[in-house]
Amino acid sequence: MTSRRSLLLAAATAAPATALLTTASPALAASAGQREGGDRTYTEPLGIGLEGYPSPFPYSFLRLEVQGETVDMAYMDVAPRGRANGSTVTLLHGKNFDGGAWEPTARALSAAGYRVVVPDQIGFGRSGKPAVDYGFRMLADNTAALLDHLGVRRTHVVGHSMGGMLATRFALDHPGRTDRLVLANPIGLEDYRELVPEHSTDKVFRDELAKTDQAALRDFYRGYVVRWRPEYERNVEIRCRVTLSGEYPRWAMASALTYQMAYHQPVVHEFGALTVPALLVVGQEDRTALGKEYAAPEDRGKLGDYPVLGERAAAAIPDARLVALENVGHLPHLEAAPRFHREVTRFLAA
């Protein structure tokens, strides 16, 4: 198989000319204008570590050794506002997001008296992006190491999308330090290998590398929600501007490797082994599925049926409760923030 190093070198040599574009004035920030219809066009590159991009809270780094590589794991440690209740909540982001996407939830939980820990997993956000063999157990152990570093012995764990798979793995591997588990429209409620054909990392990498069209990227994120709001543009901006970076091939390789992790390491078959109370919050309009574009046309409609998958997961997890949110898509913590935060804080305090 072609080495990952060779792939990265080849990709850098063949980098598209758009990666060289810059803005004429810093005052324009990332926008060089508007597309027809009012959509922004981004022309200022953003480093794959989101260097210089605004953070909702101060962030720090924990240095880790991962498969022989030294990498830095970024995290935000948000103190409780008002009267602290002595509990900690760890928020785990999804595959196409970073810790900053949790801002409204982190603020709501902090206001409720929780200490809130928000890591960017290795391979995502501000953290290092090594070309290693990613695994949910590795990411769960990294998260445990971060909690050790912060002196957190026990935590509630909240995971969104791919972060739901990671949260499940954390609760399975570290039940003694997991208080309660919240899964917000997690992917992995089905085994994608049943309907999505396997592809090599080389192919997934090259497919990821080709995803630079800004209109298509915006449509991708719009597909997550029922109704688009201006505050969701943050995710689009980061994704578009990263494609303009000279380090974009490294980002694309990390994305391909974490795709393989989510594809080859399902957690759905282990739901019955969970021993902590769990809350599933599921937007009923969501149809997200890993690798759906690789599935046969006749199978795509069978994937990501969240009304069915949520019910099935709640039945499989021994101590679980399901909250089904109508007219909500893949981002319940953003699309239905007041209801989401009310359900989560009530569950965590029970």
Position 238 scores a pLDDT of 98
The topology (CATH level 3) of 4-349 is: Rossmann fold (3.40.50)
Which tokens hold the place of 278?
């769990």
Which tokens hold the place of 217?
């990227």
Output the CA torsion 324→341→231→116 (10° steps). -130
276 beta partners: none
Position 82 scores a pLDDT of 79
Token pair 């005052």 is at which residue?
Answer: 27
Nearest residue to 287 via CA among 312, 311, 308, 304: 304
Nearest residue to 258 via CA among 124, 105, 148, 158: 124
Token pair 């980098």 is at which residue?
Answer: 15
CA–centroid distance for 66 within its chain = 20
Please answer whether residues 169 and 137 qualify as being in contact, where contact means their C-beta atoms are separated by less than 8 angstroms: yes
Which tokens hold the place of 302?
């069978």
Position 36 scores a pLDDT of 43
List all residues 6 or more positions away from 348 whose beta carbon is below 8 Å from its beta carbon: 87, 89, 114, 156, 179, 180, 182
Q: What tens-digit pLDDT sequence spans the chain (350 residues)?
A: 446 655 554 554 444 433 322 222 222 233 334 444 469 999 999 999 999 999 999 999 999 999 999 999 999 999 999 799 999 999 999 999 999 999 999 999 999 999 999 999 999 999 999 999 999 999 999 999 999 999 999 999 999 999 999 999 999 999 999 999 999 999 999 999 999 999 999 999 999 999 999 999 999 999 999 999 999 999 999 999 999 999 999 999 999 999 999 999 999 999 999 999 999 999 999 999 999 999 999 999 999 999 999 999 999 999 999 999 999 999 999 999 999 999 999 999 99
Rounded CA separation 16/149 (Å): 41
Please answer whether residues 262 and 94 qualify as being in contact, where contact means their C-beta atoms are separated by less than 8 angstroms: no
Where b means 16+ CB within 10 Å and e means fewer, 129-152 reads: bbbbebbbebbbbbbbebbeebeb
Nearest residue to 118 via CA among 155, 153, 70: 155
Helix-then-strand count for the chain, H and E = 12, 10
